[in-house]
Each structure stands twice: as C-alpha cells, then as structure tokens.
Amino acid sequence: MRVLVVEDETLLAEQVKNHLMQQQFSVDLSHDGSDGFFKISEYPYDLAIVDIGLPKLDGLSLIRKARQQDIKTPIILLTARGSWQEKVQGLDAGADDYLTKPFHMEELLARCNALIRRAAGQPDPTLSAGPVSLNSRTQQVWCHGAEVPLTAYEYKVLEYFMLNPTKVISKTELTEHIYDQDFDLDSNVIEVFVLRLRKKLDPDGELKPIETLRGRGYRFNLAVGA
C-alpha cells in the first residue's frame, strides 16, 4: 500500500510517516501543494493525506485539480479545528474524508484503513480472532457470542491488538498509539489495562489471548478470521 502525505509542517509529516510505515505502508512525503499534485498525478497511490493549508497550491485546489484529471486516489483532508465550512468545501472538492487538527494518530490510521477498505469494496467493520470479535462501528466486543462491556481505553488497547495480531507490541508502542502525546513514561497504566482486558476477555484463564514477552512487550495470539 502506497501513501502520499502532503504536509508542510515537517515534524507532523514525519510523525505521520512513521506511524504509517509501522503499519507496513510505503510513504512518500511532499511539502508543498504543487509538488504534491505532481506526485499524485504521477503515481498510483492507494491513499493520499492532504493538508488544507499548503504553500504554492492549497489543499482544496490540489484535490480539485486532481479530480478534474480523473485521479481517483482516496484522499483524506486535514483541516484546522472548527472551520466547518472547510470540511464541506473539502468533501465538495472531492476529498473522501477529513480530519481536524490536532488529531490522534490512532484516528488517522483508523480512517486510512477504513478508506482503503472502502476502496477495496470491503466495508466490513468487524474484526474477529478466535472466539473474540470486535465491531469498530459500534465499538462492541464479543467473546463466545456474549457481549463484553469495555471502557474506552480497554477498547482502544484491544483494537490495537486485534489490528496487529501476532505482532510483538512494546508498551511504549501501545502508549504512543493510545494517547495523543505527552504521557508519563514511568507509569504502569498499560499493564493495568492489559490486566483488565485479560480478566474481561478470559476470566477463566483458558484462552491466554495476550502473551507477555518479558522486556519486549505483548503479543496477541488468536488466529484472525477463525
């Protein structure tokens, strides 16, 4: 999956790039609108993330020009907080989704995946792994068919696990994906949430869905799709 990020704030652009690369995307960066337009015309990206305020050529114009050229790459528009008109203009110009800055990286990744899924014609918001299934639209979780009520953070942790099954996930990685920024490093919140998740999902200790890898992190060990 190849993604183009058109963003002039270098720091933010790099952050977005890093997170996307963690999800196995190939990422190209562009720091102004005209370069972004050139790239999106040249390459068949699977997705583009475009800031609305850009040097040389603003995001809206970029999208309009691209759509005029019949470029169908799904586009997520990044807008400033609260400017509702911009969002409408963006969708009108041909963006597929928008996100207001500042945003949670999780949110962006979720929308990226949703958009890619939508483009692939698979609008299925449910993940399942073993007896556990999760619906990201309703944020409901079931285990053996029974609904398991989770709190907001418990849900976030589980969702991240199920999006990355069998992958070794360090506590810092979890933290970074669950909190926007600024978090206390010497805290055991993650451990507590993992504990509660294990209790709620697997009260009898049969499944062992979350494996501990000492000094490295956790691994979610249920066969996806089962």
Partner DNA sequence: GAAATGCCATGCGCGTGCTGGTTGTTGAAG
Partner DNA sequence: CTTCAACAACCAGCACGCGCATGGCATTTC
Binding region for a copy of itself (CB under 8 A): 10-11, 14-15, 18-19, 21-22, 31, 67, 72, 82-85, 88, 91-92, 94, 96, 118-119, 121, 137-140, 151-152, 166-168, 176, 181-182, 185, 213-216, 219
| Burial per residue of 22-43, b for 16 or more beta-carbon CB atoms within 10 angstroms, e otherwise | eeebebbbbbbbebbbebbeee
Q: Cβ distance 89 to 51 under 8 Å?
A: no
Partner from a copy of itself, DNA, none binding residue 154, C-beta < 5-8 Å depending on class: DNA
Three-class SS of 171-193: HHHHHHHHCCCCCCCCCCHHHHH
Which is it for strands 210-213 and 217-220: parallel, antiparallel or unpaired?
Answer: antiparallel
One residue of 34, 153, 167, 219 binding DNA per CB under 7 A: 153
One residue of 88, 168, 192, 223 binding DNA per CB under 7 A: 192
The residue type at 164: N
| Shortest distance (Å) from residue 109 CB to a copy of itself | 13
| Residues near DNA, by CB under 7 A | 149, 151-154, 171, 179, 184, 187-189, 191-192, 194-195, 198-199, 212, 214-217
